[in-house]
Copies of this chain bind each other. A is one copy, B any other.
Amino acid sequence: MSESESPANAKRRNPTMNDVAREAGVALRTVSRYVNGETNIDPTLVERIRDAITSLGYRRNLAAASIRPGWTSKMLALVIGDLANPYYSSIARAVEERVRSEGYLLTTVSSDEDGARHDQLVDRLMEQRIDGMIIVPPRAQTRDWDTIPPPVPPVVFVDRPGAFPSADCILADNDGGAAEAVSFLLEKGTRRIAFVGDGLDIFTIRERHKGYLSAHRAAGVEPDLESVFTSAHTSEQAADIVRRVVETESADAIFAANNRAAVGALMAFRSLGRRLPMIGFDDFEAAVLSTPATSVVTQDIAAMGTLAADTLLARLAGDASPARTVVLPTRLILRGSEAA
């Protein structure tokens, strides 16, 4: 074992199974069995192998192992819009936790709601030979899944339905949750409820808008089309809208279709020193700190992630039952802001 030509801390090559076998004086095969936790190995050899492994600092090369037939990377991917968005990162955390318990590593990537970038990431992930994917489809159009050449690993869509009919899908009851909130406001006697939210090209907003309308229909109240605002992409834009609504008294209540809209409404109320009854969709940190505390429709984001992971793991384990779409219930939490 001459090491004359290299200093102690030089960049060393990764020791291989072969190195271990040579050092331990056994065959490659035996080391492989040991590493893979197989039984029936001569205890003497086990000891020699273990010693060789520690003395050489051997580490398995999972990438090399994964290319063998019947073996996989044991890596999964989660494709979301933006990891910096707490909504998505909560999903990511739940998924990570669940798949970790099954020995999977999770790679989370952000599509930035860009269709081309999304497709590019999916391609890269498939080239990396990940075992499966959980995807929040981007708002922008992606290519048709049928155009992707097989084999395509198992895919589960979350939060929004994917352009892939035969894949599992986990959604929240955006429609029903919004209807419940708006119905509540209508029962309280408000008649002109402003809908403040992002564009209707986003699935969740579209569904919440549907609920907004059906609640009106159910109550026999004509919805005021002038009060539907779908250009609140940021909380600042939402604040501007709400400020105008309050000032012109064009509505007597606010339904904030996502948490950015709700935050914007709070900003508007704050700067005006005046407020309207409001219910938001999606919970947010500041909700309990506002005065009055903000009522919201919540969804169990972690449960959504966990269920998506469960579904994917089941597929990986061989579940070949027909694809399911699961719609998770939402919950209306009244904290005070719904009152006049």
Residues of A within 8 A of B (CB): 9, 11-14, 56-64, 66-67, 73, 75, 82-84, 86, 89-90, 92-94, 96-97, 105-110, 123-129, 149-151, 263, 266-267, 270, 284-286, 288-291
Contact = CB atoms under 8 A, between A and B. Distances in A.
B127 A60 contact: yes
Contacts of A285: 263, 284-286
Chain B CB within 10 A, most for which of A60, A89, A90, A97: A89
Contact of A286 (B73, B90, B289): B289
Given A82-B93, A89-B83, A128 B63 contact: yes
Nearest to A89: B89
Nearest to A100: B109
Contacts of A97: 110
A286 B284 CA distance: 9
A289 B13 CA distance: 55
A109 B127 contact: no
B270 A291 contact: yes
A157 to B, nearest CB: 19
B11 A127 contact: no
Contact of A86 (B63, B86, B151): B86
B59 A149 contact: yes
A84 to B, nearest CB: 4
A201 to B, nearest CB: 23
Given A285-B286, A286-B289, A129 B63 contact: yes
Contacts of A58: 149
A191 B126 CA distance: 61
A209 B93 CA distance: 30
Contacts of A266: 289
Contacts of A127: 59-62
Nearest to A64: B67
Contacts of A129: 14, 61-63
A151 B286 CA distance: 47
Given A127-B61, A285-B285, A109 B86 contact: no
Contact of A83 (B108, B151, B286): B108
A73 B64 CA distance: 11
Contacts of A84: 86, 89-90, 92-94
A149 B55 CA distance: 9
Nearest to A97: B110
A177 to B, nearest CB: 22
Contacts of A291: 270, 291
A151 B290 contact: no
Contacts of A93: 82-84, 110
Contact of A289 (B57, B73, B75, B263): B263
Contacts of A90: 84
Contact of A105 (B73, B128, B149): B128
A59 B150 contact: no
A179 to B, nearest CB: 27
Contacts of A150: 9, 11-12, 57
A255 B33 CA distance: 58
A89 B290 CA distance: 25
Nearest to A8: B150
Given A63-B129, A84-B90, A86-B86, A96 B75 contact: no
